[in-house]
Structure 1
Amino acid sequence: MKPLFYRRTRLVAAACAAILSAGFVAAEPKHGIAMYGEPALPPDFVSLPFVNADAPKGGKIVTGEVGTFDSLNPHILKGRVPWQLRFLAYESLMGRSYDEPFTLYGLLAESIETGPNREWVEFTLRPEAKFSDGTPVTVEDVLWSYETLGTVGHPRYHSSWKKVTSAEITGERKIKFTFDTDDRELALIFGMRPILKKAQWEGKDFSESGLDEVPISSAPYVIDDFAPGRFVSLKRNPDYWGNDIPFRKGTNNLDEVRFEFFGDFNAMFEAFKAGEINTNRETSAARWETNYDFPAIRDGQMVKSVIPHKRPTGIRGLVFNTRNPIFADWRVREALIDAFNFEFINQTLNGGSEQRITSYFSNSVLGMSHDAAQGKVKEFLEPFASELPPGTIEGYSLPVSDGKESNRKNIRKAIKLLEEAGWKVGDDGVMKNAAGEPFTFEIVLEQDETNAQQIVDIYIEALKRLGIFPQVTMIDDAQYKVRTTDYDFDMAYYARGMSLSPGNEQTLYWGSEGVTEPGTWNWMGMNSPAAEAMIDKLLNSASHDDFLAATKALDRVLTAGRYVIPVWHAPVARIAHAKELRYPETIPMYGDWIGFQPDIWWYSED
């Protein structure tokens, strides 16, 4: 903690000097900021375009979660936290509109100002902003929050904080951050950090907190009650400071938001059927068609809603840990992708109804093409041509089978690739290397991931045709978190969502620091200068066209890297819910995503 103390002393000194100085040359304060161009909504907007501004207040929503929790602090690495708390129980200086790729509007801050090249950003707090205990949100709270999160908070906050050369209080309600690198997104990122109450944490170890400290925040919802591992109840704060600001109009309509936790999916679904929870997201198209014929659905007490979206698929599937030498060779990874008979698995588990993920940004304008790279995409990738795996520039697509279980064509291709990589099937039917060591590895799965278990069961039968007999280890979610945080696995089930505005988080996902630094989303252990160069380009693009090209190029590096065996995605969300729970007719670009349910839903018995 000593380095933190000295850094804090330096920042406070700088802050005091700034207040006593003549100040900075004023830039033009604005009500919002966009990654490119100007925000879609004018300064005098009344509400976000996808809300019901006249939605009634009242009622409650009860969601189900499979797993458990042992912490209420979502801003540190330690512990398991209900994921919703990060978004519902805290506020930031700016709020995001999910009907625009990356645009922020004033929330705790009434305005934002930036330098000509976004080399600095300055926020002005709203005078009416308050925490749930009635005390004002101050610039000292903001400064403390940013420094604490950037040093002892979750690793997702660290990289951007390292790019800050100064954090200065420039007025009674003003705070300015200056950056040491060209990165257009930093101004937006610094508008999205959660703001914590400094006084709550004095004399306490923020990085070790868990259930012992119920957070005080400025958000519309406060934690009202909880039972460790069983439920968390959030109640709408009747004295919430921001009820009348445009960004909040028509949002946070429900009086209670409650999360119930269950040991497995079946128990959760039975609770939904019995009415103990009143909304359920269905991730399986097959179950959506077959499992939702029960009394509450038939008599109309529960309804089925399909929510479209335009966001990227992200990636979901079985990830290779390339820190294990057995998976370091791209030919080995390609062989195991060939052996994965998607068409047969999809037919068996989903009746063939699901669409395969074809790249990390597929289903969106950011997705790569599968033919040869052209134009700026090619230009950006060519300097790295000698180190990129085949297909990155030339074009790459996932293998397609004939749908039969035998999958003969792709199995033959897999055997050939493994032989090229030094593996052969011995007389005993086991794949071995030249030293006679068998090709074997461990697949780690959460015991509650029924879908992943079914996929792996079929996959293992296919691997036997290659003389490969992996070990499957089923563990609870606590063990799974520990092992994946420390990258202690060979293969695991992996899911990572992507947005229409990829930025600095891509470094946390794919950056080389994640090869050894625990807690990142670089589970595959990739170390790709090309990927990092593409991330740098998308962060510093001078035009939207350059941004698109850089993202499409990054998509090629990731996909042709053969780091994940992708499964399927849905271009829609499927939500079954009580008929009293309503949502607006206008669906935001992101569809059912952060900021949708429960944020803009309401309860009505009419």
Structure 2
Amino acid sequence: MRSFLLAILCGLAELVCSVATAAPRHGIAMHGEPALPADFPHFPYVNPDAPKGGRIDYAVQGSFDSLNPLIVQGDAARGLFDQAFGNTVFDTLLMRSRDEAFTLYPLLAESVETDEERTFVEFTLDSRARFSDGTPVTPEDVIFTMELLRDKARPLYQRWIKSVATMEKVGDRGVRFTFGETADRETPLLLALLPILPKHATDAATFDRSSLKPLVASGPYLVDKVRPGELVVLKRRPDYWAKDIPSKIGFDNYDEIRINYIRDENTMFESFKKGMVDVYPESDTARWASGYDFPAATDGRVVKEAFRSRLPSGMYSFVMNTRRAVFRDRAVRAALAGLFDFEWANQNLFSNAYTRTKSFFDGSELSSYGHPASEAERALLAPFPDAVLPEVLAGTWAPPRSDGTGRDRAFLKKGFDALKAAGYEMKDAVLYGPDGRPLTFEILLNGKSGEALGVAWQRTLEKLGIQVSIRSVDSAQYLQRQQTYDFDVILQSYTASLSPGGEQFGRWGSAARDTEGTFNFAGVADPAVDAMLDAVVKARSREDFIAAVRALDRVLLSGSYVVPLYHQPEQWIARWTHIRHPDATPLYGYQLPTWWRAD
């Protein structure tokens, strides 16, 4: 009897603890607690007194033929649902603070509730929330949207929602999602970052077809004008329902936002010099050093600024498509990656402005470089004894270095010896593989951007009899070939955050390998990678999370799927001085949606 009573008491205690944990909150963090209190007045990196008005002109390279950024078909216009320019047209259930690793605060939902295990999440909608046509945002709209995106949106969004077992309305303003076995601790946050569409104004039957008809949503801007492939004009809504809630104070300061599409980078910069574009994020080191000598820059009407974020570097790289026979051997990939002469390129192309990237999370606590694998990492990796190279496990691996002359024979010999060990041999100045075929591949580029890097790699490989061609295509053709994995090698920048999670499945997960439209450009399908991805999203403590990310980093580096290139720790941007920004720089660096016009 005593044991029975103790069991009941323990069960009641567990229930009470669960109920206490599963209470409505003003925010939710991936690890730990939100940094801001429930009564926070605004995010710490905005200017709450920023003036409203005027217009800003942005420029992006390429073209567009769709106003739906949520589907695979078509090339969607930038600036509608956009990490750089903001979610101008579409509101989400919660809003991300860019001054914390991964924490969300109220937007369409005024509160969020989940339990310790995160087996469910419940959102309570703000009673003030309205779509742009004036109708209230309802639980029915949320459920409709989730079902629609689950069935017809991009594969990444589909995967997030397919982890939901049930969706149900709770009371007048609540929506509860109960998760199935495929969900993880990040899932509630990912659902909260999806846009909500009105059931009464969204055509589900044609949703997955590319269209230039604007979708009805609840964000601060409306699409006002469209010139396909050239221009999108957004007008700020004076009746925007959330303009005074804490999460949106200091945002959405322009009356008009213009997204100008320009075919190439040089023309974009010329447009900026002439005042046709207001801000110019810079990535060209030579231009940053000496290209700002035009009148507006010399007389102070244009200023250059460098912002320092506290983020991982990400991975700017050549990506080798392992779906192609030439790249199926890891040893061959490693040898080719080791033959990119960074020291020569950095000196001759970039005035030594960059640092070689040694990790997918370089420069942060998530990087495996310089850190021997911990016991926790070794435990995660134990089922896959061949997945990580010894030098990567020790934290000492780095890409091969040359003397920077472009004629380093030892550098070339190291790469050639690695290829010989993989069964390749030189005949008549051509390198042949074990199958008797020449080692040859094509680098596919989006326009002329990256051509100098491609030529630099090509120049080194040709010395070993490796035939490399470079093909530059327009943005529409590039996007089509990228989405269908119709390439040998592409140049890709994998961004990184301090809270990598579900997006990594789309980049490296086996399930994404054969699904068109994902970011698994390398064609990775490795049980060790899948296991590390699972460990990343299931980690609860920061310590376990760091161990899982470092283990993932080690497996990816050992797989030699990419040719690591370089990074620089600062964000460069030039602006006309009538565009202003807050004094504070958040964890993620400058945030364009918080800037304003002051003339």
- Say whether the fold is shared (TM-score over 0.5): yes
SS of structure 1 residue aligned to 2:384: helix
Shift of 1:339: 1.4
CA deviations on 1:98-143 (whole Å, 9 max, x unpaired) are: 0000100010001101123110000000011011111111111111
- Check conservation: 2:353, 2:568, Cα contact below 8 A: no
SS of structure 1 residue aligned to 2:151: helix
CA deviations on 1:325-349 (whole Å, 9 max, x unpaired) are: 2111121112112211001011111
Shift of 1:393: 2.0
Q: Which moved more, 1:334-343 or 1:372-381?
A: 372-381
Shift of 1:371: 5.4
CA deviations on 1:336-383 (whole Å, 9 max, x unpaired) are: 122110010111111111112211111212111245423322222222
The 3 A distance-change label for structure 1 pair 561 and 390 is: farther
- Check conservation: 1:381, 1:393, Cα contact below 8 A: no
Q: Distance in 2 between matches of 1:435 and 1:167?
A: 54
- Check conservation: 1:390, 1:560, Cα contact below 8 A: no
- Check conservation: 1:338, 1:411, Cα contact below 8 A: no
2:229 aligns to what? 229
Shift of 1:285: 2.1
- Check conservation: 2:388, 2:554, Cα contact below 8 A: no
SS of structure 1 residue aligned to 2:167: strand
1:196 is aligned to 2:191: no
Question: What amino acid does structure 1 have at the position aligned with 2:541?
Answer: S
Question: What amino acid does structure 2 have at the position aligned with 1:590?
Answer: Y
1:21 aligns to what? none
Following superposition of structure 1 onto structure 2, how do residues 190-589 of structure 1 map, counting pairs within 5 Å?
190-202=191-203, 204-211=205-212, 213-370=213-370, 372-389=372-389, 391-395=391-395, 396-426=397-427, 428-449=428-449, 452-589=450-587
Q: Distance in 1 between matches of 2:192 and 2:61?
A: 32
Question: What amino acid does structure 2 have at the position aligned with 1:510?
Answer: W
2:595 is aligned, of 593, 596, 601, to: 601
Q: Distance in 2 between matches of 1:482 and 1:158?
A: 20
1:40 is aligned to 2:35: yes
* Structure 2 length-normalised TM: 0.93
* Structure 1 length-normalised TM: 0.92
Q: Distance in 2 between matches of 1:370 and 1:333?
A: 23
Question: What amino acid does structure 1 have at the position aligned with 2:257?
Answer: V
- Check conservation: 1:341, 1:401, Cα contact below 8 A: yes
SS of structure 1 residue aligned to 2:243: coil
- Check conservation: 2:250, 2:594, Cα contact below 8 A: yes
SS of structure 2 residue aligned to 1:307: strand
CA deviations on 1:415-444 (whole Å, 9 max, x unpaired) are: 111111111110x10001244311111111
Shift of 1:187: 1.3
Q: Distance in 1 between matches of 2:240 and 2:204?
A: 28
- Check conservation: 2:387, 2:559, Cα contact below 8 A: no
Question: What amino acid does structure 1 have at the position aligned with 2:187?
Answer: L
2:4 aligns to what? none
Q: Distance in 1 between matches of 2:124 and 2:468?
A: 57
**RMSD in angstroms over aligned alpha carbons?**
1.6
Shift of 1:161: 1.5
The 3 A distance-change label for structure 1 pair 435 and 529 is: closer
The 3 A distance-change label for structure 1 pair 435 and 249 is: closer
Q: Which moved more, 1:100-109 or 1:258-267?
A: 258-267
Q: Distance in 1 between matches of 2:337 and 2:179?
A: 42
Q: Distance in 1 between matches of 2:116 and 2:438?
A: 60
Q: Distance in 2 between matches of 1:233 and 1:405?
A: 48
- Check conservation: 1:67, 1:448, Cα contact below 8 A: no
CA deviations on 1:557-606 (whole Å, 9 max, x unpaired) are: 112211111222221111111101111111010003xxx11x1001113x
Q: Distance in 1 between matches of 2:311 and 2:54?
A: 30
Q: Distance in 1 between matches of 2:370 and 2:335?
A: 19
Structure 2: gaps of 5 or more residues: 1-17, 82-86
Shift of 1:314: 1.2
Structure 1: gaps of 5 or more residues: 1-23
Q: Distance in 2 between matches of 1:203 and 1:557?
A: 41
1:58 is aligned to 2:53: yes
Q: Distance in 2 between matches of 1:94 and 1:448?
A: 39
CA deviations on 1:309-330 (whole Å, 9 max, x unpaired) are: 0111111121111111211112
2:5 aligns to what? none
Question: What amino acid does structure 2 have at the position aligned with 1:562?
Answer: S
CA deviations on 1:38-70 (whole Å, 9 max, x unpaired) are: 111111110001111111111221111111100
- Check conservation: 1:65, 1:260, Cα contact below 8 A: yes
Q: Distance in 2 between matches of 1:203 and 1:32?
A: 31
SS of structure 1 residue aligned to 2:386: helix
Q: What fraction of aligned residue pairs are identical, expressed as a percent?
A: 42
Question: What amino acid does structure 2 have at the position aligned with 1:195?
Answer: I
Q: Distance in 2 between matches of 1:195 and 1:435?
A: 53
Shift of 1:390: 5.1
Q: Distance in 2 between matches of 1:448 and 1:79?
A: 22
SS of structure 1 residue aligned to 2:53: coil
Instruction: Write out the 4+ residue segments of structure 1 that deviate beyond 3 Å after TM superposition.
Output: 24-27, 387-392
- Check conservation: 1:230, 1:262, Cα contact below 8 A: yes
1:68 is aligned, of 63, 68, 71, to: 63
Q: Distance in 1 between matches of 2:360 and 2:367?
A: 7
Equivalent pairs counted in the alignment come to: 574
Question: What amino acid does structure 1 have at the position aligned with 2:420?
Answer: E
Q: Distance in 2 between matches of 1:569 and 1:390?
A: 25
The 3 A distance-change label for structure 1 pair 465 and 411 is: same
Shift of 1:203: 6.2
Q: Distance in 1 between matches of 2:589 and 2:434?
A: 52
- Check conservation: 1:263, 1:448, Cα contact below 8 A: no
SS of structure 2 residue aligned to 1:441: strand
Shift of 1:475: 1.1
Shift of 1:389: 4.5
Q: Distance in 2 between matches of 1:370 and 1:466?
A: 32
Question: What amino acid does structure 2 have at the position aligned with 1:541?
Answer: A
Shift of 1:506: 1.0
